[in-house]
Structure 1
């Protein structure tokens, strides 16, 4: 359905064209089986042309703007663009191919230009201002007022008030940044895929778990090789670093992983020059808009107020965590010396020595725990938790998918009404970028024919099933799954009916992690965990004694882990606020300075971590990586209310759903938090959850 169309003639063309081009069919879910690279450019060009014609018509209209006649048509038009472009970006991330990548990268500048043009359109800005100043504004709902306020802010941040020559330069900067970010991502995927290591002697693989060996053997067979094949993807790389007794193998894999997309490999895939250019262009973008630096620009739409405030928050947290991190490292070094005969701990020894120390101290291994978390039991347990807390039911459903391993689910309320739907894509593969993420497919809103059901993508990179058995997850992977599902619920359980602030739309970036990190806490609750376990061979539930050991080990090395997050966050914010690209100091030198200040573990000189730091160079976390820790203060404190009233308390669940999840971006995150918690957030719960409190 097309509520807005430039001409009736084009509308009739539409009804035929979407049958030919699946990207132009907005009647339901994306038609993944039919989407081809050649559909991308024509669909997007058609929609952008229609939208530009619409903007012209709205601006030519002299009548005062109203919500229904001005905001709504714009909302409809831009939603169509995002619903056509969304599946393309998604497929580019999960089913990457040379043809699709080419179609995506060729069309990306057009999308970037369109949104930059909109953001710079002074006449549109004036229309929104007129609406803000009109009598109608006072009669609008809180959500609609917030949409308009956000639009006005975004016009200012999009350069609408710039003189024409600066607008042109701003547009160039936006296009270049989009191109560089996409190239950064492509380079990293290609560099990760380019490395494989085949081991033919079984003795070189001592210590590796059986299921890892099985996966490596199957990978070798698939590649027409004998022996065991290892890659730099997480399910292959991580177990080598954690379990392989062979130190030379660990060093070899570590070196390959730590130098991906750098000058040590294929020059065409070196992200170094891209990083310099990205940081420089972001600085220029901020200067054009009148900000002192990109950090300030980034925070203009977040909860944190200034880069200095973020840096201070990080440094204070570093001071609290440092004594614990130093203790963690001293213990690890002593253990490695005495028990593993490692006189010096290198970066490729840390994961291995840590796993051995954990096994000795808590008398269990991650591998043992992993056998208790088969995929089907984990999903059932996670769904049951959500059903208990929020009075919902989740059931598998069918929809067109992009890979045979992808599944699709319906979420219904107590009355059986459809609330939301989501795709689950759990396994790593060559065509898929690394990491785990949630993305929106369709956002909830009210339309003439009723409520539009929200839909989400949940993506992970876990090991696929091998040898005919179900996939089993480490406890860390279970936590990752809960985290992404938390993001999904934030998008799916919204009750807001206006697109701009529905679900995760309009939520401050440093509060977006609240619902996801909040969900992680349940992975440490016996009442939840026991219901989602089944030993892969015997079928027994996780024994309470083993869970207690896991709990005792929960904050194992949490000082080190906290400092690592602070190191990344501080590096990100300083690079975007007090660092000048090309100003005599390199990005790597800045990182060295940050490490000298906050880290206790120093990686080797050849480590090129920034070259694979997609979050800030190719994702939305530039000058925002601190959000993880910032939001963890909120999520830990929110969870403490459940701890006080019973973690499976449906009344507190209903309150969290109503005040946080349902509200989306229709009001400030701090307002939603205090409405739920009854007060401002406190850091105490975070420190307690992470074991960063001296026991006296």
Structure 2
């Protein structure tokens, strides 16, 4: 439960706030006893007093502040109703809501940080209560008819001179209101409420069945010869005795990343098939009928169609586009078509070579889908020096972190300074960020919690990491941004430093990029600053740009140092890392485009889900679909998660990020030009937050509209696009 909940609370903010939860266990007190006027969770310097925070004062603070937010909404409504009132929408509506909102969100952010960083201090049940109370209070301003109509009047030119940023904020309120039915008559509002409630129930049911179906399967292995070549982390994860993982028996489940790594390293084809078929048939009629999600998936699709139609949209996909940079289904379809033109012919070549490699190395059967991960891994080792355990030795965490800080300081003209403050664990560090051009006062700050703690942290997979915006920038409250970065990296043991895999390094860079967008924002409004109000399909862009920096050999050398020899990552391993990124890229991209298209088709067409799958599969996948493959029944991202009709956001963000990084790459040999691009990136993506539409932000940075060419080049697929054009 906690992992699924963690995914949801840390996903991009949805404009569709009318989500509901059921079965509260902890009641949030509405008024805390003897609660002081100031936030009781903050010290005199404005930072959280983590070492003194308790569940009780978190609950009391959120209850009091939630009431204050709702009371402020009522007061604003009362003022707007005065017949003699001349409304200044920025002063009379936005300013009081922004000021009171940032106080609530700070307490909410503190509780979220404790939940992710030390769940023993903030258990799931307590945080659910805090999260839902915060959501309810924050939602009040978006469903207020007086506030909506006053903002609508101002947007039509009745509220004085407004800047583009002001209008962007007003548009947010109007869109939130429309998507939550504020313009509907009472009958339609009743329908929308009933649909929303039922949808919440069905989503929970879908997720629960996937969880149960996943947990109920395991494959027992008694033969050490099968597991002897497994990576150490996989062996520990499946061993009955993690302290002595070389002794069996071993149990393989369907949880990731165990499932993925098992398919890559298990040399027994029958065992691979058994685990693969169990995974692809989760929550389907081909497993336990009582856990089948087939009908549930259809019910969710029907409810979302009804929700969209009630709000005046043709279908749920059209409704989804209201909150995306893409803007229209046609734009997404054009991108999919452009990428598939390169990925499909590349996939044909890749699978042909992989099947030949497998046959030459002992495969005596037809090449099937479940053969791909194992032989893909074998093939990569045969053509490159890629060795995850060897690469890890070059990435001690302090060296990587120092290199990351230096890179950001040079690119964005900032400086990181560590400071001793109250924290939730002794391993946690705090850093102030200063602007190099005016270093007298910090412009923001962040906590850094690097290491895994078995019983205290939510852990989705070894590379999991979170960026939590504790507090947003708000001019009216004179508040600077505050964030927390929480990871699950190996702890230093027996004098050996924490060593990061390359996946860990990518996770660190990606989350740091997101944090910079939160911390370096220059927007004055809390509702627009940092990651607030950024369209879903570009919310990951800044993080992806930072992870792209790792494609540059000089960056890899600067952040690496062998933990014993102190030598930087050698050229052959740098080339191996780049090769791993491009290996089977056509197959992987085609598969992502399949799931992207499947999501759009399921939420725009009425056909039964299996009929949609059968129609789409051969367009993207060259190997035949297994007759019992029921992956739709466990597609949690689009049914129980927050990516319904939005799964394309992943590939859209990758295209934008690759295009942005290509500007850094183009000037890589000129230090002054690199610094100029870095400054432009800070002045756009890291500064503007949600105050400017992302299409305009991209144009401000790149001087044109985005193109998929950079992503194709990064994946090594640009030559396939050229061949298609020549043919």
Q: TM-score, normalized by length of structure 2?
A: 0.81
Contact kept in structure 1, 2:410 and 2:675, CA below 8 Å: yes
Which residue of 211, 229, 232 maps to 1:207?
A: 229
Q: Which range moves more in the overlay, 554-563 or 72-81? A: 72-81
2:48 counterpart of 1:29: yes
Q: 1:13 to 1:590 in 2, by over 3 A?
A: farther
Q: Which residue of 2 aligns with 1:625?
A: 647
**Equivalent residue for 1:475, pick from 482, 502, 514:** 502
CA distance change for structure 1 residues 437 and 281 in 2, over 3 Å: closer, same or farther?
A: farther
| Shift of residue 650, structure 1, vs aligned partner | 1.6
The more displaced of 268-277 and 303-312 is 268-277
How far residue 620 of structure 1 moved from its aligned partner, in angstroms, is 3.5
Taking structure 1 as reference, are residues 50 and 686 closer, same or farther at Cα in structure 2, changes over 3 Å only?
Answer: same
Residue 602 of structure 2 is aligned to residue 570 of structure 1: no
Q: Residue 296 of structure 1: CA displacement? A: 0.9
What SS does structure 2 have at the residue aligned with 1:654? helix
Say which of 474, 490, 494 aligns to 1:445: 474
Matched, 1:495 2:522: yes
Which residue is 1:300 aligned to?
A: 322
How far the C-alpha of 1:186 sits from its partner, in A, is 6.2
Which residue number in structure 2 is paired with residue 5 of structure 1? none
Are residues 322 and 301 of structure 1, via their aligned partners in 2, closer, same or farther at CA, if it must alter by over 3 Å? same
CA RMSD, 1 decimal: 3.9
Whether 1:667 aligns to 2:692 is yes
Shift of 1:265: 6.8
SS at match of 1:420: strand
- Other-structure match for 1:4: none
**Post-superposition offset of 1:264:** 6.6
CA distance in 2 between counterparts of 1:535 and 1:560 reads 34
| 1:655, distance to aligned residue in structure 2 (A) | 1.2
Alignment partner, residue 335 of structure 1: 357
CA distance in 2, matches of 1:83, 1:577: 39
Q: 1:240-292: per-residue Cα shift (whole Å, max 9, x none)?
A: 33223343444454445445565677888765555444333322221111001
Greater Cα offset, 49-58 or 652-661? 49-58
* Structure 1 match to 2:155: 132
Kept in 1, the 8 Å contact 2:99–2:476? The answer is no
Contact 1:295 1:573 in 2 (8 A): yes
Give the aligned length: 676
1:421 matched residue in structure 2: 446
Q: 1:160 to 1:364 in 2, by over 3 A?
A: closer
Report deviation, 1:52.
Answer: 2.9
Query: Alignment partner of 2:691: what SS?
Result: coil
Secondary structure of the structure 1 residue equivalent to 2:483: strand
Query: Which position in structure 1 is the counterpart of 2:19?
Result: none
Aligned residue for 1:387, secondary structure, equals helix
The answer on 1:509 being equivalent to 2:536 is yes
1:57 aligns with one of 69, 75, 78 = 75
Structure 1 residues 109 and 177: alpha-carbon distance in aligned structure 2, compared to 1, 3 A threshold: farther
Deviation, structure 1 residue 657: 0.6
Counterpart among 174, 177, 198 of residue 155 in structure 1: 177
Runs of 5+ unmatched residues, structure 2: 1-29
Partner secondary structure for residue 608 of structure 2: coil
Deviates more, 1:177-186 or 1:646-655: 177-186
CA 1:375–1:24: 2 relative to 1, 3 Å:
closer
Relative to structure 2, which stretch is displaced further, 100-109 or 379-388?
A: 100-109
Deviation at 1:132, TM superposition (A): 3.1
After TM superposition, list the pairs within 5 Å mapping 1:200-279 onto structure 2. Answer: 201-210=223-232, 212-213=234-235, 220-221=242-243, 232-234=254-256, 236-259=258-281, 274-279=296-301
Residues 70 and 140 in structure 2, CA contact (< 8 A), matched pair in contact too: no
1:374 deviation in Å?
3.0
Superposed counterparts of 1:469-618, under 5 Å: 469-578=496-605, 580=606, 585-586=608-609, 588-602=610-624, 604-618=626-640
C-alpha distance in 1 between matches for 2:652 and 2:112 = 28
- Equivalent position SS for 2:376: helix
Distance in 2 of aligned mates of 1:177 and 1:31: 37
Per-residue CA shift, 1:213-232, capped at 9, x if unaligned? 45655963599x96556555
Contact 2:386 2:580 in 1 (8 A): no
Residue aligned with 1:621, SS: coil
Quote the Cα distance in structure 1 between the aligned partners of 2:514 and 2:338: 28
The Cα of 1:436 is off from its aligned counterpart by 4.7
Contiguous gaps of at least 5 residues in structure 1: 1-8
Say if 1:206 and 1:245, in contact at 8 Å, map to a contact too: no
- 1:653 lines up with 2:678 in the alignment: yes
For 2:270 and 2:525, locate their aligned partners in 1 and report how far apart those are by CA, in whole Å. 57
Query: Could you tell me which of 706, 717, 726 is aligned with 1:681?
Result: 706
1:432 equivalent to 2:423? Answer: no
The answer on whether the counterparts of 2:218 and 2:251 sit within 8 Å (CA) in structure 1 is yes
Instruction: Look up the match of 1:169.
Output: 191
Shift in Å at residue 337 of structure 1?
1.0
Q: 1:243 to 1:165 in 2, by over 3 A?
A: same
Aligned 1:357-376 pairs, distance under 5 A: 357-376=379-398
Q: Secondary structure at the match of 2:716?
A: coil
CA distance in 1, matches of 2:140, 2:198: 15
- Give 1:423 shift: 3.8
8 Å Cα contact 1:192-1:233 kept in structure 2: yes
Deviation sequence 1:118-167 (CA, Å, 0-9, x none): 433322211212333566541x4432232112212322222111112222
Contact kept in structure 2, 1:567 and 1:598, CA below 8 Å = yes
State which of 337, 342, 350 in structure 2 corresponds to 1:320. Answer: 342
CA distance in structure 2 between the aligned counterparts of 1:319 and 1:455, rounded to whole angstroms: 44
Q: Deviations over 1:569-611 (max 9, x none)?
A: 1111222222x3xxx613x443343222212245645545445
Change over 3 Å in CA distance of 1:363–1:423 after alignment to 2: closer
Distance 1:536 1:693, change over 3 A: same
Distance 1:169 1:23 in 2: 43
State the TM-score, normalizing by the size of structure 1.
0.85
Aligned-partner Cα distance in 2 for 1:468–1:240: 31
CA contact 1:301–1:508 (8 Å) conserved in 2: yes
| Counterpart Cα distance in 2 of 1:272 and 1:248 | 27
Instruction: Describe the shift of the 1:278–1:428 C-alpha distance in structure 2 as closer, same or farther (beyond 3 A).
Output: farther
Q: 2:433 is paired with a residue of what secondary structure? A: strand
Match of 1:446, SS state, is coil
